[in-house]
């Protein structure tokens, strides 16, 4: 995957710079997300694998995406086909979404708790995390009863483990050493 990320980075960056210049960041994000979903489908990948020329592959993708791609999006697909980089479209979409989130000063935070978090608890958590990260926070809450109590918060590379399970694991590790 890291190879595809390396290949996708210049395409995502160029598309993002164009989108910022034209004021169409959201439209580009939706367009690339859709193209990424289409090209990551197993049946589409099998179809593209059976077609020999890159220009035919790009035409198939453009037809499948239909009105979801504007002219600039179609040009990006054609350019990636010419450079034999169509496999990197999902990675381009992912990197573009990261650039957009950074541009919008947003961050997605995964919160795992043992029980459902009340709305007021979520609001307090969002306020505290926005203060800590200096960004708008979007919570993705999930439940895992194995953590017993507390929260595990993941935001990018930052992990805050305030769960009882985490504390017990750290205690066990320190007792064993």
Q: Give the tens place of pLDDT for each residue, 123-153.
A: 999 999 999 988 888 899 999 988 888 899 9
Q: What share of the chain is helix, strand, coil (3-state, %, to 5)?
A: 70, 15, 20
* Axis-axis angle for helices 2-22, 89-103 (nearest 10): 50
Q: Is the pLDDT of residue 52 over 80?
A: no
- On the question of pLDDT at 13 being above 90, the answer is yes
Please report how many Cα atoms fall inside a 13 Å half-sphere around the Cα of residue 154, on the Cβ side: 7
Last residue of a domain, one of 56, 71, 102: 102
Range of the domain at 138: 105-176
> pLDDT value at position 12?
92
pLDDT at position 103 over 90: no
Q: Count of domains in the chain?
A: 2
Q: Quick one: 129 and 117 in the same domain? A: yes
Please indicate, yes or no, whether residues 15 and 39 belong to a single structural domain of this protein.
yes
Q: Are residues 125 and 87 located together in one domain of the fold?
A: no
Whether residues 96 and 113 share a domain: the answer is: no
Residues 66 and 128 in one domain: no
Does one domain contain both 35 and 59? Answer: yes
Residue 62 has pLDDT above 70, yes or no: yes
**How does the average pLDDT of the chain come out, rounded?**
88
Domain boundary among 102, 123, 147: 102
If asked whether residues 68 and 138 sit together in one domain, one would say no
Q: Could you tell me the CATH number of the domain that includes residue 151?
A: 3.40.30
Can you give the pLDDT at residue 41? 85
**Cα–Cα dist 89/95, whole Å:** 10
Task: Give CA–CA dist 148/164, Å, rounded.
Answer: 6
Task: Give the tokens for residue 150.
Answer: 């507390």
Q: Is the domain of 155 the same as that of 135?
A: yes
Residues 65 and 22 in one domain: yes
In 3D, which of 91, 127, 96, 93 has the Cα closest to residue 109?
A: 127
Final residue before a domain boundary, out of 102, 124, 143 = 102
Collapse the DSSP code of 141 into the 3-class scheme (helix H, G, I; strand E, B; otherwise coil) and give the result. Answer: strand
At residue 149, the pLDDT reads 87
124 & 70 share domain: no
Question: What's the CATH number where 13 sits?
Answer: 1.10.520.20
Decide if 31 contacts 70 (C-beta within 8 A). yes
Are 28 and 96 spatial neighbours (Cβ–Cβ below 8 Å)?
Answer: yes
- Please give the pLDDT value at position 2: 66
CA 121 to chain centre: 26
pLDDT band at 33 (very low <50, low <70, confident <90, very high): very high
């Amino acid at each position: 995957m890291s190879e595809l990320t390396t290949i996708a980075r210049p395409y995502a960056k160029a598309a993002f710079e164009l989108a910022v210049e034209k004021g169409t960041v959201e439209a580009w994000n939706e367009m690339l997300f859709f193209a990424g979903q289409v090209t990551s489908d197993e049946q589409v990948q099998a179809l593209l694998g059976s077609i020999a020329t890159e220009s035919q592959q790009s035409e198939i993708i453009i037809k499948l995406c239909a009105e979801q791609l504007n002219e600039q999006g179609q040009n990006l697909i054609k350019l990636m086909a010419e450079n034999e980089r169509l496999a990197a479209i999902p990675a381009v979409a992912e990197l573009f979404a990261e650039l957009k989130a950074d541009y919008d000063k947003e961050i997605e935070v995964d919160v795992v708790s043992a029980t459902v978090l009340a709305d007021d608890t979520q609001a307090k958590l969002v306020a505290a995390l926005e203060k800590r990260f200096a960004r708008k926070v979007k919570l993705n809450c999930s439940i895992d009863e194995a953590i017993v109590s507390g929260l595990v918060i993941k935001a990018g590379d930052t992990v805050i483990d305030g769960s009882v399970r985490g504390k017990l694991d750290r205690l066990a590790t320190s007792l064993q050493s």
